[in-house]
Amino acid sequence: MSPLDHDDHDVLGGLMRQSLDHCVKCTICETFCPVSNVTPLFPGPKYAGPQAERFRTPAEESPDTSLDYCSGCGICTQVCPQGVHIAEINSQARSRLRQRTGVPLRDQLIARPDVIGMLGRPAAPLANRTLRSPLLRRAAERAIGLDRRAPVPDVAGRTFQAWARKHRSPPAARRVAYFHGCGANWYEPDSGRRTVELLEHLGVQVLVPRGQRCCGLPLQSNGLFDPARSYAKRMARRLAPAARAGIDIVGTATSCTLMLKREAREILGLEDDPPLREVSDHMYDICEYLMMLHDRGELRTDFGPLPMTVTYHAPCQQQGHGIGKPALDLLALVPELRVVESTSLCCGIAGTYGLKDEKYDIAMDVGAGLFAQVANTHSDLVVCDSETCRWHIEHATGVPAVHPIELLHRAAGLG
């Protein structure tokens, strides 16, 4: 079977491609593209998406390798006034391109954060030292093209799942299933724990479905659609029982949440997977979920004061939810907290994009505006919904970055 066969042309996948018909060439996507605005290596979303797609057929190899410089941030789709699914078209085309050019070992590796986590955990201190050793990082750069300067998180000694197995959430009328993602599980288990504690404080019983692995997003971003599909389906099967029981699922990894809510269906074309449909229908970004409670007057808002200045940056993937910035509304409930809203659309990392040696500088240039804003506002903290963005921003600014939930956790007097 040819790599360009019609797997990608399922109902929704096909609709993504057909949306190129709506493009009127207006250039709005180009003016917002974080990547093409800092480097000519990427010819821009309009070119790579609706324009180039007219020249692609299943019978021919994709000739436009520049497409690989698209970071997949999705901003083009968000700003397009005509309804062209530009990022989705690009993502599908990039996958076909990479099936032709092959996917480098590096991308195969970084696309599987849970594998890295699993391999790294038993020897976490050693692994972390290894990952921080300049010598070894230089070697890794030469060997596999992982930029030696790029932020790589520490693998935690104990996973969030291990903590959750021991934890009993007090029964409550309102229950959610927590989709923690690889970040909380392998790298930031404390953040996962605090999420559970906050939800419980707010009167929500938290179930943590066992055996949660990677949702497939990094694989999808790296063009590895087939393994991405099996990852997404596997993850969906873990969460589907909760959804089937009418329990909403909340996630703190906003990109992964978006993946299961929408992208796996739209980009990977997994419309015929019932568990994924059920999970997708019940999936909420955690801030979105808390604001829903707030809109209904059901959110406990007795937060204590946090006298500090923070910059809130809504990651591009969070904006992909189309829910506005609920974190801003939640943080506004915290007395004495001064929140500066980031005016940047993207920090540059785009998941694993900025880790690659040929793209690291681009990622830094994309985020330059945000980094300057963080510095200029003398922020004590950066607040951001996505872990890879937080690691990147921390790395670039030296200012610690946390999930909005962490601040609410503090303001609730829990930490």
Partner 1 sequence: MARVRAEVLVIGGGATGAGVAWDAALRGFDVVLVDRADLASGTSGRFHGLLHSGGRYVVKDPVAARECVDENAILRRVIPDCIEDTGGLFVTTPDDDPAYGERFLAGCAAAGLPAQEIDVGEALRAEPRLNPGIRRAFTAPDASVDVWKAVWSMASGAAEHDARILTYHSVVGLHTADGTVTGARVRNELTGEELDIEAGFTLNASGAWAAQIVKMAGIEGIGVIPGKGIMIAMSHRLVNTVVNRLDLPADGDILVPIRTVSAIGTTDIRAADPDEIPVTHAEVDQMLDAGERLVPGLRAARALRVWAGVRPLFQDEKSGATLTRDVTRTHAVIDHEARDGVRGLLTISGGKVTTLRLMAQDLVDAMCKQLGTERACRTADVRPPGNERGEYFRLGTRLREREATLGEEQLICECELVGRGRLERTMHRRGSVNLDDMRRQLRLGMGPCQGGFCIYRATGILHAIERLDGPEASASLVQFLEERWHGVWPILYGDQLRQARLDDWIFQGLLDVEHLPAAVAP
Partner 2 sequence: MSHHDVVVVGAGLAGLVAAVRLAEAGASVLVLAKGVGATHLSPCTIDVLGYDPEPVERPLEAVARLIAARPDHPYAVAGPAGVADAIAWFTGCFEDGPLAPYGYVGDGAENHVLPTALGAPRPSAVVPESMAAGDLRGGGEICVVGFRTLKDFYPLLMADNLDRLDGVHARGIELDLAAEGRADANALGVARALEAPAFRAELVAQLAGRLGADERVALPAVLGIADPHGVWTELQEHLGRPVFEVPTLPPSVAGMRVYATLTERLRRAGGRLILNVVVTGADRSGGARVTAVRARVGLRDVVHGADWVVLATGGFASGGLELDSRWTVRETALGLPVVGVPTPGAERFHPAYFDEHPIGRAGVAVDGEGRPLEPGGGVAMDNVRVAGATLAGAEPWREKSGDGLSLATGFRAAGSIMAALGVGAGATAGTGG
User: Which CB, 9 or 234, lies closer to partner 1?
Assistant: 9
What is the distance between the alpha carbons of residues 255 and 253, in angstroms, rounded to a whole number?
6
Burial bucket for residue 357 (CB in 10 Å: 0-12, 13-18, 19+): middle
Site string for partner 2, 318-357 (x = CB under 8 A): -xxxxxxx---------------x-x--------------
Burial bucket for residue 14 (CB in 10 Å: 0-12, 13-18, 19+): middle
User: Which CB, 145 or 404, lies closer to partner 2?
Assistant: 404
For the residues of 206-264, what is the DSSP string, one character each?
Answer: EE--TT----SHHHHHTT-HHHHHHHHHHHHHHHHHHHHTT-EEEESSHHHHHIIIIIH
The kind and range of the H/E element at 205 are strand 204-207
Tokens 């935690």 -> residue: 156
User: Which CB, 26 or 105, lies closer to partner 1?
Assistant: 26
Task: Name the segment binding partner 2 (CB under 8 A); options: 146-154, 170-178, 291-299, 308-316.
Answer: 291-299
What is the distance between the alpha carbons of residues 304 and 287, in angstroms, rounded to a whole number?
18
User: Which CB, 60 or 272, lies closer to partner 2?
Assistant: 272
The listed partner (partner 2, partner 1, none) that binds 80, CB under 5 to 8 Å by sort, is: partner 2
User: Which CB, 70 or 242, lies closer to partner 1?
Assistant: 70
Instruction: Tell me the two tokens of residue 177.
Output: 């299933």
User: Which CB, 206 or 268, lies closer to partner 2?
Assistant: 268
Is 17 a binder of partner 2 (CB under 8 A)? no
Burial bucket for residue 140 (CB in 10 Å: 0-12, 13-18, 19+): buried
Binder of partner 2 out of 62, 77, 222, 252 (CB under 8 A): 77
Query: Rounded to the nearest whole angstrom, what is the least distance from the CB of residue 395 to partner 2 in the complex?
Result: 25
Is 365 a binder of partner 2 (CB under 8 A)? no
Query: Rounded to the nearest whole angstrom, what is the least distance from the CB of residue 76 to partner 1 in the complex?
Result: 15
Non-local CB neighbours of 372 within 8 Å, separated by 6+ positions: none
Q: Which residues bind partner 1 (CB under 8 A)?
A: 6, 9, 14, 18, 20-26, 40-41, 43, 46-47, 51-66, 82
| Dihedral angle of Cα 390, 391, 395, 401, to the nearest 10 degrees | 40
Is 317 a binder of partner 2 (CB under 8 A)? no
Q: Beta-carbon neighbour count of residue 317 at 10 Å? A: 28
What is the distance between the alpha carbons of residues 193 and 178, in angstroms, rounded to a whole number?
11
User: Which CB, 10 or 200, lies closer to partner 1?
Assistant: 10
The listed partner (partner 1, partner 2, none) that binds 291, CB under 5 to 8 Å by sort, is: partner 2
Residues that bind partner 2 (CB under 8 A): 22, 24, 26-28, 30-32, 37, 40, 77-83, 261-262, 265-266, 280-281, 291, 295-296, 319-325, 341, 343
